[in-house]
Every structure is written in structure tokens, then in C-alpha cells.
Amino acid sequence: MSKKIYVGNLSFDTSESGLRDCFAQHGEVHSVSIVMDRETGRSRGFAFVEMDPGSAEAAISALDGVDLDGRNLKVNEAKPRENRGGGGGGGGGRDRW
């Protein structure tokens, strides 16, 4: 079982391999995923890292606030994704009576 870690305030220059190397100092990294903007293809400035629970806690404690590529990282346990619903929306127009 692995624990998902949120990593925010990333530099646009930070790579997945650089982030993996940073977290690997605290234990085995299962996955690294930098979230990219669909339209521009650039980083959105945050990522998710998965590690074993003990290693994840150590990494969170050690890396929160640490400078990486000129930015102070914001590192904490990822929260479950909210269901933002789907579907379209009506326009809220007038009734046609």
C-alpha cells in the first residue's frame, strides 16, 4: 500500500526525474506525476508522489518548505479528490411560455 503526497509550489523547470531524486532520499518512490496544463503543455505547478507510508511521512516532514529549483516546496498528504460532478448546465434562461 502506498501513500499519495501532494507537492505544490513547483518551479516550471522541475522535472519528474528531479522530483523523484529529491523524494528518493527518504525512501522508495513508486510514482511521480507532475500535473500538466492541457492547453499549454506546461506544468501547473504541482505534482503527486507515491511512496510507502513510513517513507512518505519522512519525506513530508523533511521536504515541506525546502527549496527546489528556486521555489519553496509545499508538501503534505494528498487529500482524496472531490467529486466535482459532471454534466452540463442549463443556461438559466427565461421560460418560453
Domain boundaries of the chain, sorted by first residue: 3-77
28-72 pLDDT tens trace? 999 999 999 999 999 999 999 999 999 999 999 999 999 999 999
Chosen CATH of 3-77 out of 3.40.50.300, 3.50.50.60, 3.30.70.330, 3.40.50.9100: 3.30.70.330
Q: Is the pLDDT of residue 96 over 70?
A: no
The predicted structure's pLDDT at residue 2 = 92
The predicted structure's pLDDT at residue 87 = 60
In the three-class reduction of DSSP (H, G, I as helix; E, B as strand; rest coil), residue 63 is classed as: helix
How far is residue 47's CA from residue 12's CA, in Å, rounded to a whole number? Answer: 11
pTM over 0.85: no
- Residue 82 — pLDDT band, cuts 50, 70, 90? confident
How far is residue 31's CA from residue 97's CA, in Å, rounded to a whole number? Answer: 57
Nearest to 73 by CA among 28, 11, 1, 4: 11
Is the CB of residue 77 less than 8 Å from the CB of residue 6?
yes
Q: Is the pLDDT of residue 1 over 80?
A: yes
